[in-house]
Structure 1
Amino acid sequence: MAESLLFPLVRGVASKATNALVQTVTRMCGLDDDRQTLEHHLLAVECKLVNAEEMSQTNGYVKSWMEKLKAVAYEADDVLDEFEYEALRRKSQIGNSTSCKVLGYVTCCSLLLFRFAMSKKLEAVLGKIKELVEEMNTFGLENSGSREYQQHPWRQTHSKLDESTKIFGRGDDKEGVVKLLLDQQDQRMVQVLPIFGMGGLGKTTLAKMVYNDQEVKQHFELKMWHCVSENFDVIAIVKSIIELATNERCDLPDNIELLQKKLDEVTGQKRFLLVLDDVWNEEKRMWDDELKPILCSVGLPGSVIVVTCRSKQVASIMATIKPHELAFLSEEDSWELFSNKAFSDGVEEQLELHTIGRRIVNKCEGLPLALKTMGGLLSSKKQVDEWKAIEESNIGANVGGKYEVMPILKLSYKHLSYEMKQCFAFCALFRKDYEMEKGMLIQLWMANGFIQEDGTMDLTQKGEFIFHELVWRSFLQNTKEVLSSAYSVSSKYETVVFKMHDLMHDLARDVSNECATIRELIKQKALVKNVRHLQMSRVKLEKICGLFDGRTSVRTLLAPSRIQHRFLHQDIKRLPYLLPFVSLRALRWQSVRVSFNVENAKHLRFPKT
């Protein structure tokens, strides 16, 4: 599905070719004819892309052509960006001078040098795109219009939405789990209660309901929540639990004996509840020999660990209490959840829509994530024919496999606007269960040109709109407000953070092949060739440099704050001089000031240079 993001890329580059600043500088340099030729070629390609995408599903030759087109489109974007940068640079030099027209003052020497360099770059791009257009004309592609889809009007209340007040069909589950937790008060050893079930059933939601229950709050002196996901690393887990218990950073060395003593110290005189969310490890030895002896020998009597997992095998390995298997929602609970989304945006609950909706709900087979996603999609469809088209799509849940909800999620993704598709796919850059900050994410979207002004909103407002749309349709989840310097420049300000459901993260990785982490590339022994958005990690600079082969098209380079180690402080300062980041749009490396030369900083939007 990754090719579906090519259309907005080509359209964005074609739009940049018409930018007033770009036109001004190309005319000054005598290159405006070439700019117009590039624009016309891009528009010709744009008209054929929808049909090309469909054909690429079965035609490997067309698929290869689209990959080449993507590379050329990015190259063209860089060239046009340089013209725009030059216009802004000259405008900045002139300032508000009334003696010269804007962009009018320029020495002959500098103009000639710039024209010479840019004419070669523009000519090279034109040559490549002409070849691709000629090749495209042999495919017999049909013209087709943009497949934009209707967007919701702005919803002011979404960032404040408390989803716990709109949870359907889990009241009995919550009561049962709470009773089990409270009944362990006389148990000397820490007890382990798994909650298991297939993806999309709401295991994490149930765990949160229990975690925030008033009786549970009063019963347990200490409550901690750690998301494990696929990283079942004992030292990392124990360190995280210590930090949660103390609300302080754990700077102890990676020595399990020291960590065990510290854990006993901070939990030994407290009855605690620990939630280990989204556990995947099925190696009995790792639990029995490494983690269980540490976690189950601390705390006061009555302490409990709640584990959420998809696998019955994981549940059986870790359980000391009979696991709680989460069931599918009943038909009526499913309808309540679906209709709460589908009819919330002015869509009238007509009899015919009600009938079609019931059949769609049956196809979701009681899966909450599928029901919320479909309801969010249909809330933007007000016509019976639109509902019928969705009903007739292949949206069966295919219960039992890892991707049982994927047909539904992919259908909902298909109906996003192209801007929303790009913004959602970009989230594949972050690892599973990573806590993202809304304001930062919107700035990264803006820096990469995913958001376009539409005359009624500025870029920031448009980014807010897209964010709330993705939350509403359940592509982004678990939003909350925090008051922490870890997320904001000043702790005076609240900021919104959020996560993605792991199935949504799988979908983002499926629709984007441009996001990667350094660790993934090292593991796969792959070069940073087609990667546009790169996540750094705790890896020596020498290994990082080995992934680059000449010019790179990386546009986003990020490092999470948790890996700010001394050797990385030094390494990141050297990166701009050792790696050719000539296309970089966004750089985030907290607490370190990075110096770029002019060539490497031309395209940089974030942070502002």
Structure 2
Amino acid sequence: MWGDALRENGQCWKRFCAPFRSVKDGSMMLVTTRCPEVTEGVRTMDPVILEGLKDDVFWNFFKLCVFGSESSSNHPELEHIGIKKLPKLRGSPLAAETMGRMLSMDLQASHWNFILQSELWELRQGETEILRALRLSYMYLPFHLKRCFSFCAVYPKDYKFQKERLAEIWVAEGFVEPQDICCQYFEDLVARSFFQKFNGRYVIHDLLHDMAQKVSEHDCFILRNKSDFDKVPQNVRHLCILPSSEFDDSNLLRLCKYTKLRTLICKINLGKRTCFVMDHWCTKLTRTRVMSCAFTNEVPDSIGNWKHLRYLEISRTCTLKRIPSTFCWLYNMQILYAKKCNLQSLPADFDKLTSLQKFDKELG
């Protein structure tokens, strides 16, 4: 559980627990968290503090991550280097896997010493030793992988990524092209344990997500509640708006001042007011390249102002019936997802979108 589980003065947690009030004697609920406020808010007994793996178990796991087996007899010098720095990882399997994959890229003592003696180990920014280790693994990624991974901080924890869809967005952002190279970048990040496969999709471990947010804190931001509007970085480039009953159009219009925005992911449904808000965004946020919205009943004529737009997704079922003719001014448009919309027709000049590579739709 995360701290936001206790939002609305704990009412969210109470609603979650409501179905479990009628249970058999002896039933129990196990809650895991890294948030002290959650511990105090939900516990009915003293918490059990989980420590890292014991040294011998951790060392064997670390060697497995680096060498592919628990034997390091062929690399005595590397074993000596690794043992000295192992305490820094505090027994965290994730830190061992991430750091181990990075060290396994080059089994030379000079490479290991360079990384493990890095001054990043000595950072004092309120981070845990584990986060510093993970940040170190990020710092030694190639630049193109850094940029692709740090962008993922705009998505919330536990988000399920689709490889091809994320690759399309990376291309739209201008991080790299063509898309098949982006898919290879994704696989490179998987190989380094920055993504983990989960039920056919991919997730980012919570600690790695924390690290991604740390390294991209001025570029990426997630709006979860009304108070977050006062925390948005002035030069933010990638923004995600999560569903909240606190949001209304007056809040969302405040985003018009962030004119450097390139990515806008909007997960809320304002009903008939959606077009009104989008009209203002299209007028003011003219550098937008990627727009993903959950719902809109109408696309405003002002969308023609988004000359840099390359990716547009309308993800949920909605009553959108037409696309305005000004949409055909978007000569950089590459990807359009509108499969769940009730489109009746397309503009006459739709064939002028010469950069369009994919249009996923069903015409009524």
TM-score where L is the length of structure 1: 0.44
- Within 5 A, what are the aligned runs for 1:141-540? 227-233=1-7, 234-237=10-13, 241=16, 260=18, 263=19, 297-310=21-34, 315=39, 318-320=42-44, 323-344=47-68, 349-394=74-119, 402-452=127-177, 459-477=178-196, 479-481=197-199, 495-501=200-206, 503-512=207-216, 513-518=218-223, 523=228, 525=230, 529-537=234-242, 538=244, 539-540=247-248
Work out the CA distance in 2 between the residues paired with 1:387 and 1:532: 35
Work out the CA distance in 2 between the residues paired with 1:340 and 1:594: 53
Instruction: Tell me if the contact between 1:429 and 1:515 (Cα under 8 Å) persists in the aligned partners.
Output: yes
Work out the CA distance in 1 between the residues paired with 2:14 and 2:42: 16
- Deviation of 1:586 (Å): 0.7
Larger radius of gyration: 1
1:541 to 249, 253, 278: 249
Work out the CA distance in 2 between the residues paired with 1:376 and 1:325: 28
Work out the CA distance in 2 between the residues paired with 1:419 and 1:355: 32
Work out the CA distance in 1 between the residues paired with 2:37 and 2:230: 32
Structure with more of its chain in helix, by fraction: 1
Instruction: Tell me if the contact between 2:170 and 2:182 (Cα under 8 Å) persists in the aligned partners.
Output: yes
Amino acid at match of 2:133: I
Q: Could you tell me the percent identity over the aligned residues?
A: 28
How many residues get paired? 304
Work out the CA distance in 2 between the residues paired with 1:414 and 1:387: 14
Amino acid at match of 1:585: R
Amino acid at match of 1:480: F
- Deviation of 1:317 (Å): 6.0
- Deviation of 1:572 (Å): 5.0
- Deviation of 1:580 (Å): 1.7
1:602 match: 307
Work out the CA distance in 1 between the residues paired with 2:146 and 2:42: 39
Higher relative contact order (CA 8 A, sep 6+): 1
1:157 match: none
- Deviation of 1:418 (Å): 0.9
Which digits, 9 at most, give the CA deviation of each residue in 1:412-453, with x for residues without a partner?
11101111111121122123344444433222212101124x
1:552 to 252, 259, 266: 259
Instruction: Tell me if the contact between 1:584 and 1:600 (Cα under 8 Å) persists in the aligned partners.
Output: no
Work out the CA distance in 1 between the residues paired with 2:2 and 2:101: 29
Classify 1:318/1:377 alpha carbon distance in 2 versus 1 (closer, same or farther; 3 Å). same
Amino acid at match of 1:468: E
Work out the CA distance in 2 between the residues paired with 1:236 and 1:313: 15
Instruction: Tell me if the contact between 2:256 and 2:280 (Cα under 8 Å) persists in the aligned partners.
Output: no
Amino acid at match of 1:557: L
Q: Secondary structure at the match of 2:194?
A: coil
Which digits, 9 at most, give the CA deviation of each residue in 1:232-260, with x for residues without a partner?
13444455x48xxxxxxxxxxxxxxxxx4
Work out the CA distance in 1 between the residues paired with 2:301 and 2:211: 35
In structure 2, stretches of 5+ residues that fail to align are 313-334, 337-364
The worse-fitting range, judged by mean Cα deviation, of 580-589 and 324-333 is 324-333
1:581 match: 285
Instruction: Tell me if the contact between 2:2 and 2:34 (Cα under 8 Å) persists in the aligned partners.
Output: no
Q: Secondary structure at the match of 1:558?
A: strand
Classify 1:599/1:388 alpha carbon distance in 2 versus 1 (closer, same or farther; 3 Å). same
Q: Secondary structure at the match of 2:239?
A: strand
Work out the CA distance in 2 between the residues paired with 1:524 and 1:325: 35
- Within 5 A, what are the aligned runs for 1:8-27? none
- Deviation of 1:588 (Å): 0.6
Instruction: Tell me if the contact between 2:253 and 2:277 (Cα under 8 Å) persists in the aligned partners.
Output: no
Work out the CA distance in 2 between the residues paired with 1:546 and 1:463: 34
1:38 match: none
2:294 match: 590
2:269 match: 564
Amino acid at match of 1:590: A
Work out the CA distance in 1 between the residues paired with 2:13 and 2:192: 32
TM-score where L is the length of structure 2: 0.71
Classify 1:390/1:584 alpha carbon distance in 2 versus 1 (closer, same or farther; 3 Å). same
Work out the CA distance in 2 between the residues paired with 1:519 and 1:505: 16
Which digits, 9 at most, give the CA deviation of each residue in 1:48-105, with x for residues without a partner?
xxxxxxxxxxxxxxxxxxxxxxxxxxxxxxxxxxxxxxxxxxxxxxxxxxxxxxxxxx
Work out the CA distance in 1 between the residues paired with 2:301 and 2:152: 26
Classify 1:390/1:497 alpha carbon distance in 2 versus 1 (closer, same or farther; 3 Å). closer
Which digits, 9 at most, give the CA deviation of each residue in 1:326-369, with x for residues without a partner?
22212221122212221249x99522223222223243232222
Q: Secondary structure at the match of 1:554?
A: coil
CA RMSD of aligned residues (A): 3.4
- Deviation of 1:509 (Å): 2.1
Work out the CA distance in 2 between the residues paired with 1:526 and 1:390: 34
Classify 1:546/1:311 alpha carbon distance in 2 versus 1 (closer, same or farther; 3 Å). closer
- Deviation of 1:583 (Å): 1.1
Classify 1:396/1:330 alpha carbon distance in 2 versus 1 (closer, same or farther; 3 Å). farther
Q: Secondary structure at the match of 2:31?
A: strand
Instruction: Tell me if the contact between 2:88 and 2:129 (Cα under 8 Å) persists in the aligned partners.
Output: no
In structure 1, stretches of 5+ residues that fail to align are 1-226, 243-259, 264-294, 453-458, 482-494
Classify 1:402/1:553 alpha carbon distance in 2 versus 1 (closer, same or farther; 3 Å). closer
Which digits, 9 at most, give the CA deviation of each residue in 1:127-158, with x for residues without a partner?
xxxxxxxxxxxxxxxxxxxxxxxxxxxxxxxx
Amino acid at match of 1:299: V
